[in-house]
Structure 1
C-alpha cells in the first residue's frame, strides 16, 4: 500500500502536539551502538517485533532481529518478513535483467511485448515498460477494477482482469501509484523470461545474491494489528499483491543486507551500471524512479521505498553519496508507520549524530481515538437521560453515522484515490474504525431518544 503511512495518518496528524521548544543547544553526545538503539526503538515503539540491517559499501554493519513473532518465537535476522511494496524494487530489477539480456525493450509499448495486455482504452497500447516501472502509465486504481483483479490467482489472470479498464491520464503525462503497473510488469517477466514470476526472481535475483531466505509469496508467521495499544495477531488479508510483483516478496534482514549492497553498486551486480542508474533515476513527471523514490531524511538525500500490507510494514533506503543502506521490517501494521522513525535513527547513527527517539506517535493517536470513543458513549448517555424535543437536534447525532457509512470512500479520497474496502479498514485502521463505529452507534441511540421524546410530546 504505499507511501508513508497511509494518508489516514495525515488525517490524524492534527492530534499530536508540536515538539517543545529547546532551552538552548544541547551538548553533543557520542552515538550509541546500533544494537542499543534498536533495542531502545523496540521499547519506545512498543512493536511486537522488528528486524533491521545497515550496510556500508560491500559490508553488513549490523543485521539483527528483536522482539517476537505471533507464535512467541524470537525475531532474528533470519525471520521471514513480508515487505509489501518494497517488493517493487525487486520486480524492477527482474525487468532490468531482461532489458540487459535484450528480451525486453524499456521504451517500447508493453502491448507489443506482451500481446495479452489489452484494455478498453486505446491509449493503453502506447504504455511503455518504463512507464509501468515509474508509475506514469496512466493506470490508476479507480479505472482498472482493482478488487476484481486482486481476486485472481495468477499474473496472467490479473492482466486479463484489466481488459475492461480505462486509463486516468495519457501515458507519460501524470504519476499515480497503482499496484497494477507492477503486476503487469510481473507478467511481462514471466513471458519474456520463460518462467513463473516467483521462479524467475529466485533464479535471477535472489540466488545470484545469496538471498537464500527470500521468495515471492512465501510463508511468514501471522503479523499483528494495533488496537488501542494491544497487538492482535491476524492472518494477512488475502490480496493478489501479497503474491505478485507489487508486494509479494518475503525476505529477512540478512538477505536485505545483500540486496542493499548490490543496490549501492557494490558486491555482485545483476545488471549493468547504466541499468542500475536508470532504476534510480526519477521520471520526467515525478521524482519516483523504478521502485525507489528520493526522500530527504533529516538532511540526507536518500532513495527510499516503503511497504505496508495489513499486518506487516517495511522500509528500505540507500544513500548513493555515502554507500550506506538501511532496511527496517516489522511484523505489525498500525495507523502510524514506526519503521520510518527507526530508519531516521539509523541514518542519524551513520552520520555520527544522536538518533531521535522512536515511538510515541502511534500510542498518542490511539489514546486520543480511545478517548473520543469514550466521550461518544458519555454523550450518548447524557442524550438518553436528557432527550430533546426540538427537531433540529436530530441532525447532529446522525452525522457520525453518515460519516461511518461512507468511511471507505472518504479514506480512499485521503489516500489519493487508492481503492479501500471495508475489510481493509478493519486491519491497520482498526482503532479509527472502532472509534467511528462507536460514535455512529452512540449518535443513533441519541437520535432515537430524541425521536421518542418528540413523539411523546404530541
Structure 2
C-alpha cells in the first residue's frame, strides 16, 4: 500500500483490516471516561482532547479548532519520539490532508491563467502519457476531483513508489491505463494529485516545494510546514502492538514533494489553513475560486481535495503507516477542526476526535473518547490462543496419526483442512484487504505497520496451523512405517 494510501476522505476509510478485529472486540466494549459538556469552549476542547489522549494511549496528539478568523484552541498532548513535549507547533505528517493543499496550488495558478482546469492535462504537462488513448481526454479538474479514471487496479502504484521526483513519477505512468472513461466515475487514487503537483511545477516554473512555501505557507504564516523533511523534520511515528507503542521509521515510498501526501505541518499552522479555507483571514484565491474547490463533481460528493458531506461540511483525512490526521470545516458556521497524531493503530483516533469536536460545534454530545485498547487486547488474546493451539496440535499429533492410520488419503486430507485454513487466510491477507478496501493496493510491507497486531496474530495462527499439519503428516508417516 502506498505510504499515504490508507487515506479516508469522509467515507473512504482504508484501515480496512481494523474492521476484522473490531468485530472480535465489539462484545468487550465498555464506556470510557465521561464526556465533557457539549460546548465548544477552549476549556471544553482541552478537556475532551485530554480525555481522548488518555483513552487512546497515542504517544502524541495535537489539535486546532477555529471559528471565523480566530483560533479557539490549539494545543498538543503527549511527547514526540525525541522525548520533547508535543505542542501546537510540533510538526507531524498529515498524509492525504495534503490533497487539499495541492488543490489550492492548482486553483491559485488557474486564477492566474497559468493552468486551465477544463483543458486536457496532456496539453499542459509535457511528459504526461499513458498506454491508454483515453488519458488524452483527462482534464485538470478531473485530477483534483479524482474522476480522471486513474485506479489502483490499472496503475502500478507500487512501482511508482520508487520514483525520485514528480517528473519521474509522471513518466512512470507511461505503461499504465485507465479503469474508466475520464469524468464518468470517481475513484480515490494518489497519482491524481502527484500529476497535479507536477503540473504546478511546470506551470509555475519552479519546484513544487518552493511554490508551496512562497504561495501557500508563507502568506498564511505557516512557519512549521513544508513538503519534505529536509525543511521541517517530524519525529518518528509509532505503531501499536498489543498496547505497546513502537517508534518506527515511516515506510519507504514517494513522500518528499508528494502532492498526494507529502505535507508536514503543525496544529497551529493547520489552524491558519482552516481559517483561509473558511474564507477568512489571508485569502489565497478568490471567494469564487474557494467555492469552486468546495463544490462536488457531478459523479461523487468530492470537490477539489475535499469530501463534501451531506450536511455541507467538508472533511479529508490522511493516514500513513505511522501518522494519522484529519481536517474538517463548516463553511456555513465558520468552524474548523484539525487533529493530528504521531501514532497509527488499528483505529484512527484523529477521525473519532474530529467527529466529537464537530458534534460539540453543533451543540451536541461528543460521545465517549476511545482508542483501540480493546481491539489490541482481543488480538493479543487471540495470538496467545493461536500459539497454544499450535503447541497442542503438535503434542497430540501422534494420537491424531494413530487414530487415522490406514484411512484413505482423501479422508486424511479433509481432516487436515481446518488446520490449513489459517495458512490460506494469511497467504491471501493483502489481497483480501485490497478487495475490501475499494480496490486500493495493499502490499505485504504495509500490513506490518498500522495493522501490525492483526498481521502478527494471523501469522501466528498460520504458523500454528502449518506446524500442526506438518507434525501430523510426519507422525502419520512414522506410524505407517511401524505397521
- TM bucket (normalised to shorter chain) is over 0.9
Aligned to 1:15: 24
Specify the alignment match of 2:135 in structure 1: 124
Distance in 2 separating the partners of 1:410 and 1:27:
37
**What is the rounded CA distance, in whole Å, between the counterparts of 1:191 and 1:230 in structure 2?**
45
Q: Distance in 2 between matches of 1:230 and 1:276?
A: 43
State the partner residue of 2:373. Answer: 363
Q: Match for 1:199 among 194, 197, 210?
A: 210
Q: Quick check: 2:430–2:443 contact (8 Å CA) kept in 1?
A: yes
* TM-score normalised to structure 2 length: 0.90
Q: Is the 8 A contact 2:67 2:336 kept in 1?
A: yes
| Match in the other structure for 1:428 | 450
Matched with 2:407 is none
State the shift of 1:315 in Å.
0.2
- Spell out the pairing of 1:80-95 with structure 2 (5 A cutoff): 80-95=91-106
| Aligned counterparts of 2:30 and 2:195: Cα–Cα separation in 1 | 49
1:44 maps to 55
Deviation at 1:210, TM superposition (A): 1.1
Q: Specify whether residues 335 and 103 from structure 1 end up closer, same or farther in structure 2 by C-alpha distance, changes over 3 A only.
A: same
**Does the 8 A contact of 1:64 with 1:76 survive in 2?**
yes
Q: Shift of residue 445 of structure 1?
A: 1.0
* Counterpart residue number, 2:274: 260
* Alignment map for 1:45-124 (pairs within 5 Å): 45-124=56-135
Superimposed CA distance per residue, residues 163-195 of structure 1 (whole angstroms, 9 cap, x where no aligned partner): 000001111111111100000000000000111
Distance 2:354 2:281 in 1: 23
What residue in structure 2 maps to residue 143 of structure 1?
Answer: 154
Relative to 1, partners in 2 of residues 1:19 and 1:380: Cα closer, same or farther, differing over 3 Å?
closer
1:300-359 Cα distance to aligned partner (Å, 9 max, x none): 642000001111100000011210000000001111111111112212332333421111
Indicate the larger mover: 388-397 or 426-435: 388-397
In 2, Cα distance between the equivalents of 1:71 and 1:342? 25
The alignment partner of 2:183 has SS state of coil
1: distance between equivalents of 2:35 and 2:122?
A: 60
C-alpha separation between the residues in 2 aligned to 1:428 and 1:19? 22
CA distance in 1, matches of 2:373, 2:328: 25
Which of 361, 373, 385 is equivalent to 2:395? 385
* Structure 2 gap segments, 5+ residues each: 405-411
Contact 1:393–1:450 (CA<8 Å) still a contact in 2? no
Output the CA distance in 1 between the equivalents of 2:252 and 2:470: 38
Q: CA 1:403–1:17 in 2, change beyond 3 Å: closer, same or farther?
A: closer
Preserved contact between residue 434 and residue 440 of structure 2 (Cα < 8 Å) = yes
More deviation, 8-17/119-128: 8-17
- How far off its partner does 1:406 sit? 2.0
| Bigger Cα displacement from structure 2, 144-153 vs 430-439 | 144-153
Whether the 8 Å contact between 1:119 and 1:162 is mirrored in structure 2 is yes
Q: Is the 8 A contact 2:21 2:454 kept in 1?
A: no
SS at match of 1:449: helix
Hey, what does 1:308 align to over in structure 2?
A: 319
Answer whether contact 1:5 1:335 (CA < 8 A) is retained. no
* Partner residue, 1:452: 474
Distance 1:46 1:5 in 2: 21
Counterpart contact for 1:5–1:336, Cα < 8 Å = no
2:193 corresponds to 1:179: no
- Please state how far the C-alpha of 1:226 moved relative to its aligned partner: 0.7
Q: 1:232 aligns with which of 230, 240, 246?
A: 246
Deviations 1:110-133 (A, max 9, x none): 001113110010100000001100
Q: Is the 8 A contact 2:35 2:369 kept in 1?
A: no
- What CA distance in whole angstroms lies between the structure 1 residues aligned with 2:256 and 2:388? 41
Count of residue pairs the alignment pairs up: 451
